[in-house]
Structures are given as structure tokens and as C-alpha cells.
């Protein structure tokens, strides 16, 4: 099967090696006998709510975020329609912030958001940096861990009842206080974890691909047989060990 992927603003939101997430999605799809048809959607591009099975938004510096924020907000209704229609989505760091209701800087300035994720982000006085380990439950009763790296000054505040990606075991997470990291809406995931994220957590790449296949077929997400990947497993172990060395365990 050919899965249709929209990569939003790759020329602007491309720091922290986040393009590696696309590379891993491509590799994991090929392992399952599928392929990705990747379309770049930039400032002059259009989001067509039924045209893609998976959307990807990376992270960027403040200048690049401010540049694309009004355009992304204008595309917001189509993106929300796509996700509510069953498309999968991964948004990382700056992309995660802009898919909420907006970002308020310390000087009072604001960047508009899409409103897909039920949260707001405000600038903090210090950056939250380092390796992070989360505990997630992608399927009820199935607990997995996610290891990644965070580097953000924004404090993302989830609305009451919002579903986080996971609970912080080690690290800061959304705001350094709540113990939550990321957010989930249907098949959409937002997270601060980059570096990039998916090479250390291939099971999460498989989860996203399964959701994209479900959107393409109109059927339930397939259950994949685990594919061993020694390098990915070692990357996960190393990142998890670094996160544990930070201390600050939360539940």
C-alpha cells in the first residue's frame, strides 16, 4: 500500500534532526511491505483534508515559528478536519506548540495556534533541557516507554480532561510541574521529544503507520508483528539511561 504523507513546512521546521522521523517512517513502512508518498506543504501549499493519511510537523527556532504561525493557523480548519476524519499526525516541539491554541511570549506577544490540541503554551524564564523517559499506554492495558530529548522554554498547559502522550518518569515534560508530556487527540500525537524521536522508539513509528493504514483502508489499525532492530533498541536504552541519571522521578 502507498501511504500519503504531508510534511508541513520542511524548509522552516527542520531543526533537532527531526527529518530523521520521516526517514524512520519510510524504513518501517518498507519493512511492512508499504511505501510512503511524501508531499511537502509550505507557505504557498494547501492542506486538503482527505488527501493524506499522515501529517508531520517538525520543530523550529522562534523566528521560523513566528514566520509560519499565521499561515498554519489559516490552514487549521482543514488540518482539524483531517484528524477528526481519522488521519494520523505527529507534531514535534515547535509544531506541537503551534497545534494548540497559541503561544504567548514573555513580552506579551502571541503566535496564533491551530486549536487541534487542547492546550496553551506560555514562555518560561528558563529552558527545560535533557533526556526524558515517559510511560505511555497507546492501547488500553499495553504500557510502553518512550525515550527522547527535550529543549524548550515554553510551558504547555493541558486543559482539564486532555489526554497526554504519557506520564513523565524522568525529565520535565510539558511544563515541569504536571508530570504530563505531550498530548493525544484521536490518531494525532504532539510531543516535545525530538533528537529525533522515532529512531529511539520504533514501536511509536509502527503505531503511527498502523493508524495511517487504518485511515487509508477505512478498517481497524493492523496489528504488526514486532521487527527486531538492535540499533534502535540500543538507542532507546542509552537515552533511557541518560534520563534516569537526571533523577527527578515523577508519577
- Reading the block at residue 74, the C-alpha cell is 489559516
Q: What are phi and psi of 41, to 5 degrees?
A: -120, 110
194 tagged catalytic: yes
Which residue of the set 152, 194, 215, 236 is catalytic? 194
- Rounded Cα gap, residues 162 and 159, in angstroms: 5
Which residue of the set 52, 93, 136, 152 is catalytic? 93
Q: What are phi and psi of 42, to 5 degrees?
A: -105, -160
Which residues lie closer than 8 Å to 78 by C-beta, 6 or more apart?
46, 47, 48, 49
172 tagged catalytic: no
DSSP, collapsed to helix, strand or coil, labels residue 137 as strand
Give the DSSP H/E element, type plus range, for residue 214.
helix 202-217
Residues forming the active site = 93, 194
Amino acid at each position: 500500500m502507498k501511504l500519503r504523507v504531508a510534511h508541513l513546512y520542511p524548509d522552516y521546521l527542520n531543526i533537532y534532526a527531526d527529518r530523521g522521523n520521516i526517514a524512520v517512517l519510510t524504513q518501517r513502512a518498507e519493512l511492512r511491505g508499504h511505501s510512503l508518498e511524501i508531499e511537502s506543504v509550505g507557505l504557498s501549499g494547501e492542506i486538503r483534508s482527505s488527501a493524506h493519511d499522515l501529517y508531520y510537523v517538525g520543530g523550529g527556532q522562534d523566528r521560523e515559528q513566528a514566520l509560519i504561525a499565521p499561515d498554519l493557523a489559516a490552514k487549521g480548519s482543514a488540518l482539524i478536519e483531517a484528524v477528526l476524519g481519522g488521519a494520523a499526525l505527529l507534531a514535534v516541539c515547535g509544531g506541537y506548540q503551534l497545534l494548540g491554541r497559541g503561544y504567548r511570549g514573555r513580552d506579551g506577544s502571541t503566535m496564533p495556534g491551530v486549536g487541534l490540541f487542547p492546550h496553551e503554551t506560555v514562555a518560561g524564564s528558563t529552558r527545560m533541557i535533557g533526556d526524558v523517559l515517559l510511560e505511555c499506554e497507546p492501547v488500553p492495558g499495553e504500557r510502553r516507554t518512550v525515550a527522547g530529548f527535550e529543549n524548550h522554554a515554553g510551558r504547555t498547559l493541558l486543559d482539564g480532561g486532555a489526554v497526554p502522550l504519557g506520564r513523565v518518569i524522568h525529565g520535565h515534560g510539558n511544563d515541569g510541574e504536571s508530570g504530563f508530556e505531550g498530548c493525544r487527540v484521536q490518531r494525532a500525537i504532539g510531543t516535545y521529544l525530538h533528537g529525533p524521536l522515532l529512531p529511539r522508539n520504533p514501536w511509536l513509528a509502527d503505531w503511527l503507520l498502523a493508524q495511517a493504514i487504518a485511515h487509508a483502508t477505512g478498517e481497524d489499525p493492523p496489528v504488526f508483528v514486532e521487527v527486531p532492530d538492535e540499533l534502535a533498541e540500543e538507542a532507546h536504552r542509552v537515552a533511557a539511561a541518560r534520563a534516569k541519571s537526571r533523577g527527578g522521578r515523577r508519577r
